[in-house]
Structure 1
Amino acid sequence: MTRTLRSPRATGWVCNACRHRTSTLTTLPLRHWTSSRQSSSSASSPKSKIPDPKASRFPTYPARTRFAPSPTGDLHLGSIRTALFNYLLAKATKGQFLLRIEDTDAKRTIPGAEDRLYRDLRWAGLDWDEGPVVGGPYGPYKQSERLAQYQSHIQDLLKTSHAYRCFCTPERIDELNRRRHDKGLSPGYDRKCTHLSSAEVAERVHKGEPHVIRFRAPEKWPRVKDLTFGWTGHGEKKSKNLHAHEPAYDDSVLIKSDGFPTYHWANICDDRDMKITHVIRGSEWLSSTPLHVALYNALNWTPPAFVHVPLLFDTNNQKLSKRNFDSDVSSYRSNGFFPEALLNFAALLGWSHKEKSDCMDLDTLISLFDLKITKNNCVVTFKKLDFLQAQHASRHIEAGGEKFEQMIRDTAVAVLEKYGAAAVQSFIGTRSLRDVLAQIMSIKSIGYSTAPAFAEKLAVFFEPLPSPLPPPPVLSHDQTWLLHALRVAASTLLLVPAESWNQETHRSNLLLLQENPYPGLDTTTTTTSTDSPSSELPADSTVLTSKQWRILLYHYLRWALLAGRNGPGIPETLELLGPEVCRQRIQEANQRSQEFQVESVKPILEEQGWKGDADGKRRVEKAWTPHALNASPTPPTPSSSASS
């Protein structure tokens, strides 16, 4: 229910301001929330539509984006992120993603780098719609093959006097900049060559005199609205600073003396000719954007939308670059990272989302991508990459299929390289390595990250146990009376037939052994239970809490099966090792524990009169009932199949 305020009746003169306020109040709705009926009624009234934040920056038309690397080294993390953002924007808008090779700097070009660029992009799944190899309507897509286009467009600037030829030698330019530097001034050119007549310029060009072509900088630089950083640019400030004390101009070189274009000139010509709508690149190019827009304006071209993304830094506040070999895409590939995990990691470096989980494949990233990119530089911590790698690995294991099989193949290679064929064959026996590794990968407690790292975790299976085994997990001679009960419990697990040898059966039997331990061993569930596995056991009593017995049982089994090393759970370990290996290891461990037990109680027996003869030992044992060594009541019978 809604009501409106009625304006009070005027009894005298009322000013116009008050009349306006009361007229506004007459249309102000008042809601009554005194009942659920009234509440639902008012809730059904029309609501104003909340604008979608994605729509404010996101294009409503198919975007054409490009990734334009130079073949001067391998792709690094920052490069793959730039390529990814361009790819996501194009695919999210049903547009096109272009690849362009900027190879005009022949001195810095590295042989083979171009082919590695193609390989790494394809490995990552960032296939280009237009570009080298695949072609397209606006080729060629290598700048070294587009020199004619750059020369054609530069003629347009020369005709309109937005560019001019400069014959100054490099030595004169260096001297000019040195003199300005000594005066505390910014570098700049004095436009000496703008005073040459057209005839003189033509004659010097005809003679083949080396020269460059410079852009005539505007007096007022354009302001640019970047979709990440907002408005940017120098306006008149930069020109005024250059003119102070000694006139100079920021007339950038567009065509070098060898006829090749500079980055700035080739960049804007290619983007215009290839109909690029959005330029997504690192924020290091933000300061160059006013120059690019000024060039567009001089040619009467419409500039694309600009999206600059923050730079990447390591934890030492050093910028990541091609010199950081540990950030090369090829290193991630060789170390076993999934391409989807690397792309997932790269996407989160500067871009945010509202999903509950950060784990996303490429299709999910496309569906969620927008231009909500942070302005702040990103500090890269690779723990996040490890986390995402494990998450994607878990997905592949659950889904099965070719990706899971590839994980098995990669792990098999890593295992054989690390442990050797003999050790591997000794562990798997008659089983196939593929089946054993698939079974191990299904154990979540081990956790797959990369194939080499996963192979490291499997040392508990493929490396032999230390010989002799370390002492069993009983810390003092007063607790050695427990070892016989533990030996009986461990031996009981070996009674399971081979056809029922699986983790479900072992899990059921372990529960039985926890609830029905060795007869004569008294367990209680009193509140005096230990707080942790390291808590001390009673030193001189046969009474244990159930928790203490369970902890000791599992510690003994892990010692017997894996020499106490970390690994999967006991049921999983029993299944993976198989009945023959388990029988061998438990029997050897039981023998070792018995030897340890004898050595531990020998001083006590000697104190009670044992001289080393068998009869004397038996006499002492008979009187020493709390620490009897040879009691052998009937152990609990294990189940041969899993029970609920």
Structure 2
Amino acid sequence: MFSNSVIRASSAITPARTRFAPSPTGYLHLGSLRTALFNYLLAKGTGGQFLLRIEDTDKKRTVEGAEEGIFDTLRWAGLQWDEGPLVGGEFGPYRQSERTELHRKHVDILLEEGHAYRCYCAPQRLEALALTRKHSGQSTDYDRHCLNSPPTASAAEPHVVRLKAPVQYPAYHDLVYGTITPGAQSHDHAIGAFEDPILLKSDGMPTYHLANVVDDHFMNITHVLRATEWMPSTPKHVHLYSCFGWKPPKFVHVGLLQDTQGKKLSKRTGDVFISEFREKGYLPEALNNFVALMGWSHAGESDILDIQKLVEQFSIDGLTTGNTKVEFGKLDYLQKQYARNRVMGGSGDKEILDAVEAQVRKRFGEKYLPYLQKLQISLFV
């Protein structure tokens, strides 16, 4: 769809392999769309590939129909993936639940090399430990009670596998935030408190930390672009790459989306799910343009940027630090511009008017006719 002539000089000057990796636990929201869009733009703008991977290892939280909703939403937005479910690819399978054999194989490697250990502690013991430490004002992290369990002993008993966390996780470079150096945990370790995150759950399924690293490596992902809420996890991932002897991808973190009061964007403060914007008749090009401007700046003269222009202009260097307050007035402005463009171009008239009529019917019922012409006119003015 896009020629290599659009490739821009930026922090990503070679073809990027990016991935959007949602969990099928509900509807995609504005933040999800922005993450998918930025990954798509980075890949297309550098002549690379955009992958879709479904992270469905937490079966308790999986919502029926959510996976199909992800496919439908991305296609509606015009963000067709090059590899992933429904389209295939040489680095599949693209559902994490179908890659568990690979994950377990690499857990075994960590166990054999002393980077991880099996933990047989019952939930009751862990709860009592955390409660006791909390009351004494100490860290509630694990005490490594099972650290010296033989690597191959009692593998059939219920257990989890924990990462043996270092005193200090390695520093890493983020292409937006610069060098990030985690603090040392010397004090916690001195009092017998160790983070030691779980890598493999008692049901044999991997946690996010393990599956994320293993799958990104074997899918040849070059850039991990995601929200800053994942920055605290990144040092763990960098450490895991080191344990396996792998070169980590480049990390790109973008700020969170907030309401006008600086709080996390939520249903209480306005629409957040893409399905809600679709139901109200917003056009995909308007919504893409809207979320692209959240946490990214460009050198162009106009903020009206269709997908082709976004691909041409997007650059990691334009991503900004900090969170972004969402102003929905901008979306309405963009909607009018794109609706006008569609009508003037002779395409999409029926789709737009059908959306208008549906919204008027929803608000006014069968008495909608007196309002329809007025609303149609305001859409294009």
Q: Aligned partner of 2:345: which letter? A: A
1:302 deviates by: 0.8
Q: Which among 323, 326, 346 is matched to residue 377 of structure 1?
A: 323
1:325 positional shift: 7.0
Return the alpha-carbon distance in structure 1 between the equivalents of residues 200 and 355 of structure 2. 50
Could you tell me whether the CA contact under 8 Å between 1:73 and 1:322 is conserved in 2?
no
Q: Alignment partner of 1:133: what SS?
A: coil
Instruction: Provide the residue aligned with 2:3 in structure 1.
Output: none
CA contact (8 A) 2:117 2:149 kept: no
Aligned to 1:219, which of 167, 173, 178?
A: 167
Cα distance in 1 for residues equivalent to 2:332 and 2:274: 15
2:18·2:50 contact (CA, 8 Å) conserved in 1? yes
* CA distances 1:83-131 after superposition (whole Å, capped 9, x unpaired): 0000000000011101111111111111111111111111111111111
For residues 153-552 of structure 1, the aligned pairs below 5 Å read 153-198=106-151, 201-202=152-153, 204-205=154-155, 208-235=156-183, 237=184, 239-244=185-190, 246-321=191-266, 326-371=271-316, 372-400=318-346, 402-411=347-356, 446-448=377-379
Shift of 1:248: 2.0
Q: Cα offset for 1:413?
A: 5.5
- Structure 2, unmatched stretches of 5+, are 1-7
Residue correspondence of structure 1 range 535-574 to structure 2 within 5 A: none
Q: Distance in 2 between matches of 1:164 and 1:373?
A: 39
- TM-score, normalisation: structure 2: 0.91
Letter in 1 for 2:164: R
Distance 1:321 1:273 in 2: 35
Q: Which has the higher Rg, Structure 1 or Structure 2?
A: 1
Residue by residue over 1:508-558, the C-alpha shift from the partner in whole angstroms, topping out at 9 and shown as x without a partner, is xxxxxxxxxxxxxxxxxxxxxxxxxxxxxxxxxxxxxxxxxxxxxxxxxxx
Q: Secondary structure at the match of 1:279?
A: strand
Task: Please tell me the root mean square deviation across aligned C-alpha atoms, in Å.
Answer: 2.5
Residue 406 of structure 1 deviates from its aligned partner by 2.6
- Cα distance in 1, alignment partners of residues 30 and 242 from structure 2: 34
> How many angstroms apart in 2 are the aligned matches of 1:415 and 1:215?
56
Aligned length: 372
| 1:148 positional shift | 0.5
Pairing 1:84–2:37 present: yes
SS class of match (1:307): strand
Distance of aligned partners of 1:130 and 1:324 in 2 relative to their CA distance in 1, 3 Å threshold: farther
Which protein is richer in helix relative to its size?
Answer: 1
Matches within 5 A, 1:32-181: 55=9, 57-181=10-134
- Partners of 1:384 and 1:135 lie apart in 2 by 37
DSSP 3-state at the match of 1:388: helix
Shift of 1:411: 4.0
Contact 2:281 2:356 in 1 (8 A): no
Q: Which has the higher contact order (CA 8 A, sep 6+)?
A: 2
Distance 1:189 1:399, change over 3 A: same
Q: CA deviation at 1:419?
A: 7.9
Q: Deviations over 1:199-242 (max 9, x none)?
A: xx52x22xx3111111111233100111111111315x2x2131
CA shift at 1:323, angstroms? 7.6
- Identity, % of aligned positions: 50
Whichever residue aligns with residue 177 of structure 2, its letter is: F
| Distance of aligned partners of 1:221 and 1:412 in 2 relative to their CA distance in 1, 3 Å threshold | closer
Query: Residue type of the partner of 2:221?
Result: I
4+ long deviations beyond 6 Å: 322-325
Shift of 1:173: 1.6
